[in-house]
Amino acid sequence: MEKQSNLIHAGKKKNASLIPREVSIDLLESIAIFLVVMYHSTIYSSNFIIDSSASTYVNYLFRTLLSPCVALFFFANGYLLFSREFNLKKHIYKIIRLILLCVIWGIVKTFIFMFVYDEILTPLEFLKTLWFFKDGWINSLWFLGALVGVYLVFPILKCTYDNNKKIFFYFIIICLILTFGNVVINEIGTIFSALILGKNIIFDEVNFFNIFNPLRMIRGYVLVYFCLGGYFYQLKESILKIKLWKRNLIAIVIMVISCVCLMGIGILYSKITGEIWDVVWNGYDTIFTFINTICIYVLCLNLNKDVYFIRLISCNTLGIYFLHEIFIEITRNTIMENSLWCNPLFNIVYSVFLILLCLLLCIIIKKIPIIKKLVS
């Protein structure tokens, strides 16, 4: 959701060199918003506990493809921000703007959903909905809160990135161990208990590093994805030196294996708890989503020219993000009345329709003074 200008000016204006638009990131952000809409607009069943048919398991596997949806946005933000010159004044303005957008859209969506859900909130309930990001109402705005959190420490990260890559890389490794590493230990413990000891003991969100983990109880994995984006900006040329067919084949094979593994973990957790384990929401800090995020980026490097429609979506991802759930809540019940439409294939069609609808509205809103700032 971080904006790119068509040409980014680097250095002083008099001697500025022009850096071409990162078309691969345009594609990455377009894929990200598509996966987000796909996830939020789910119209098919993947609950294999209720229905153990083969198609339900296939649907569950399909959902593993959606797991990198939000991670891709953090990756793209880091990729773009670390590669640019830093201006503290503009950065502080950006933070304030994101906070205001979060509050404004929280209020707007809460008002709209009161009518959609036919549930009138009292002033106190309204405030609680905003403050606690009520699930099913405005909880998707957590992304902006997490992004603001990263932006608050970005000046320090950027300074380290520019002046000492070893310390920057050290920071990524430490964050990776304390977040994804901790989750891996949880998963190993669960697998060992179930398959070796024969006990249904689930290790979920256990902090194995105890008091030595400064990232406990927060979404520390967000920092990893964000910094990873900056790191892969440096690796881009090295990746491009790998033969096209070879890097694509490696990325696809690894991603397939990763999705199957994520599905396996999801099935195990679901069987133990008796409730479906959400491979998307619960998968953000798994090593498998981490791997899939990198694989998607590698595949996006295949795009080497500016495609207008992809750029158009990329430039409007923030507006689409704010608007899509409103249209989902208005249309999904009608869609699900026809059981023939309740499958992943039609969900793709439905998601494309939602993105186009939101994109059209974004274009219209951007032509209206003042209000245009709500989606740009």
pLDDT 10s digits, 147-194: 999 999 999 999 999 999 999 999 999 999 999 999 999 999 999 888
Q: What is the mean pLDDT of residues 263-289?
A: 94
Does 105 score more than 60 pLDDT? yes
3-state secondary structure of 20: strand
Does 346 score more than 80 pLDDT? yes
At residue 5 the predicted structure's pLDDT band, cuts being 50, 70 and 90, is: low
DSSP characters over 80-98? HHHTS---HHHHHHHHHHH
Distance of alpha carbon 266 from alpha carbon 207, whole angstroms: 20
| Percent of the chain's residues with pLDDT above 70 | 96
Does 19 score more than 60 pLDDT? no
Sequence letter at residue 334: T
Of 47-51, 61-65, 193-197, least confident by mean pLDDT is: 193-197
DSSP 8-state code for residue 8 = E
pTM above 0.75, yes or no: yes
Does 88 score more than 70 pLDDT? yes
Q: What is the mean pLDDT of residues 110-131?
A: 89
**Average pLDDT score over the chain:** 91
Short-list 71, 85, 61, CA closest to 279: 61
Query: How high is the pLDDT of residue 10?
Result: 37
Backbone angles phi, psi at 7, to 5 degrees: -135, 125
Query: How high is the pLDDT of residue 17?
Result: 44
Tokens of 330: 């208005």
